């Protein structure tokens, strides 16, 4: 046995790793490389979202019909309470209010479901996260895409309700596409933000239903914000109307309902909708990426 000293004697672990080209397992890649990896997993993201959508109601006898029935039943309950008992339809005819309410419930449910799925995206899939190497952002993005596909089924009911109450297809219906695109970007950013938060604090999933319910009541799902707050300081109505959930609901109502005109929208509404989408989507992606190497550990 030779007693000659090794050339590696005295080197630290970091120096040894650098000398032999070793890197930390699961280390966070650069942002550009991360985006490239995400693009490479695009087929997985789509397939995973479709599988989750199919499995969501697999144990129910009505199966995928619950994708439409659940928000529709919510809309019916809100109509009975807010429309008939509390007269939240003030300022609107019944032909406008019912499509107004159904559209609000379905569109807000899209955001609500994306956030709730995002909270559990990492903590609820630890086995997958720990077993396979892939960009973790694939999970919350996939869940947001699942909710978009679910909304597509609901759109059939939204169209039927609008037509049934006198709002027939017109060129304004084409605006639905950019509204959905902007809201999907916004929802995806939120899902990414809450996926990182939920990965560190699983109990957040228990708190979020209360947060989302408060947001729903503050966003004018069941009533017109300017009408209901006419006796309050104007700035309160402005703040509530400019919140992103209200922005996307109002744009969808404007596109879909004949009696819901531009006078119901805040100024520069499209610029605000685009700003919210870009800010939250990009900010959420970077925020999630910064903790990439910590997901599934500990």
Q: Which of 275, 119, 294, 109 is nearest to 190 (CA)?
A: 119
Chain segment 56-84, per-residue pLDDT in tens: 766 655 666 776 777 778 778 877 877 67
For position 153, what pLDDT does the model report?
82
Provide the 10 A C-beta neighbour count for residue 2: 5
Q: For residue 24, is it within any domain?
A: no
The structure's pTM equals 0.86
Number of domains present in the structure of the chain: 1
Chain segment 88-101, per-residue pLDDT in tens: 777 788 888 889 99
What does the mean pLDDT of the chain come to?
Answer: 86
Chain segment 170-195, per-residue pLDDT in tens: 999 999 999 999 999 999 999 999 99
Mean pLDDT of 39-59: 85
Chain segment 228-257, per-residue pLDDT in tens: 888 889 899 999 999 999 999 999 999 999
Q: For residue 20, is it within any domain?
A: no
Q: For residue 65, is it within any domain?
A: yes
pLDDT at 280 over 90: yes
The confidence band for 35, taking pLDDT boundaries of 50, 70 and 90, is very high
For position 138, what pLDDT does the model report?
95
Q: For residue 17, is it within any domain?
A: no
Supply φ then ψ for residue 135, to 5 degrees.
-60, 120
d(CA 92, CA 79): 13
Answer for the pair 58, 156: CB distance below 8 angstroms, yes or no: no
For position 64, what pLDDT does the model report?
64
Q: Which of 22, 15, 32 is nearest to 289 (CA)?
A: 32
Q: For residue 290, is it within any domain?
A: yes
More confident residue, 26 or 282: 282
More confident residue, 79 or 127: 127
If you ran DSSP here, which 8-state letter would residue 62 be given?
Answer: T
Mean pLDDT of 151-164: 88
d(CA 2, CA 297): 42
For position 23, what pLDDT does the model report?
47
- Alpha helices per DSSP H over 168-258: 176-200, 204-218, 225-228, 234-241, 244-256
Provide the 10 A C-beta neighbour count for residue 26: 14
Q: For residue 12, is it within any domain?
A: no
Chain segment 135-152, per-residue pLDDT in tens: 999 999 999 999 999 888
pLDDT at 22 over 70: no
What is the DSSP code string of 3-39?
-PPPTTTT--HHHHHHHTT---TTPPPPHHHHHHHHH
What is the 3-class SS of 216-231, one letter each residue?
HHHCCCCCCHHHHCCC
Answer for the pair 104, 221: CB distance below 8 angstroms, yes or no: yes
Domain limits for position 97: 31-294
Q: What tokens appear for 127 in the block?
A: 């086995």
Residue 228 CB-density burial (10 A; 0-12 exposed, 13-18 middle, 19+ buried): middle
pLDDT at 17 over 60: no
Chain segment 199-230, per-residue pLDDT in tens: 988 889 999 999 999 999 999 998 888 888 88
d(CA 297, CA 200): 10
Percent over 90 (pLDDT), the chain: 51
Answer for the pair 104, 177: CB distance below 8 angstroms, yes or no: no
266: Cβ–Cβ under 8 A, 6 or more apart, which residues? 238, 241, 242, 247, 250, 272
Answer for the pair 176, 255: CB distance below 8 angstroms, yes or no: yes
SS3 266: coil
Q: For residue 53, is it within any domain?
A: yes
Q: Any idea of the CA torsion for 62, 64, 69, 74, to the nearest 10 degrees?
A: 120
If you ran DSSP here, which 8-state letter would residue 91 be given?
Answer: T
For position 78, what pLDDT does the model report?
79
Q: For residue 48, is it within any domain?
A: yes
Angle, vertex CA 267, rays to CA 264 and CA 271, nearest 5: 120
């Amino acid at each position: 046995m030779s007693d000659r000293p090794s050339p590696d004697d005295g080197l630290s672990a970091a120096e040894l790793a650098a000398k032999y080209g070793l890197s930390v397992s699961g280390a966070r890649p650069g942002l550009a490389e991360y985006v490239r990896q995400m693009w490479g997993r695009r087929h997985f993201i789509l397939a995973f979202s479709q599988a989750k959508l199919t499995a969501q109601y697999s144990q129910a006898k009505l199966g995928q019909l619950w994708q439409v029935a659940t928000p529709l039943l919510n809309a019916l309950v809100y109509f009975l309470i807010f429309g008939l008992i509390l007269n939240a339809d003030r300022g609107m005819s019944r032909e406008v209010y019912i499509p107004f309410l159904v559209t609000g419930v379905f569109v807000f449910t899209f955001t609500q479901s994306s956030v709730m799925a995002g909270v559990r995206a990492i903590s609820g899939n630890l086995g997958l996260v720990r077993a396979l190497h892939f960009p973790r952002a694939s999970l919350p993005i996939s869940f947001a895409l699942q909710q978009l596909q679910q909304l597509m089924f609901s759109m059939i009911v939204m169209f039927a309700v609008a037509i049934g109450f006198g709002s027939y297809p017109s060129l304004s219906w084409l605006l639905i596409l950019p509204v959905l695109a902007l809201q999907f970007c916004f929802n995806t950013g939120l899902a990414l933000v809450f996926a990182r938060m939920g990965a560190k604090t699983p109990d957040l999933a228990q708190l979020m239903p209360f947060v989302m319910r408060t947001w729903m009541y503050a966003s004018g799902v069941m009533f017109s914000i300017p009408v209901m707050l006419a006796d309050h300081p104007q700035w309160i109505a402005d703040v509530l109307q400019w919140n992103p959930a209200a922005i996307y609901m109002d744009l969808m109502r404007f596109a879909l309902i004949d009696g819901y005109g531009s006078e119901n929208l805040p100024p520069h509404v499209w610029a605000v909708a685009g700003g919210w989408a870009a800010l939250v989507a990009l900010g959420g992606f970077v925020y999630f990426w910064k903790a990439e190497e910590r997901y599934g550990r500990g």
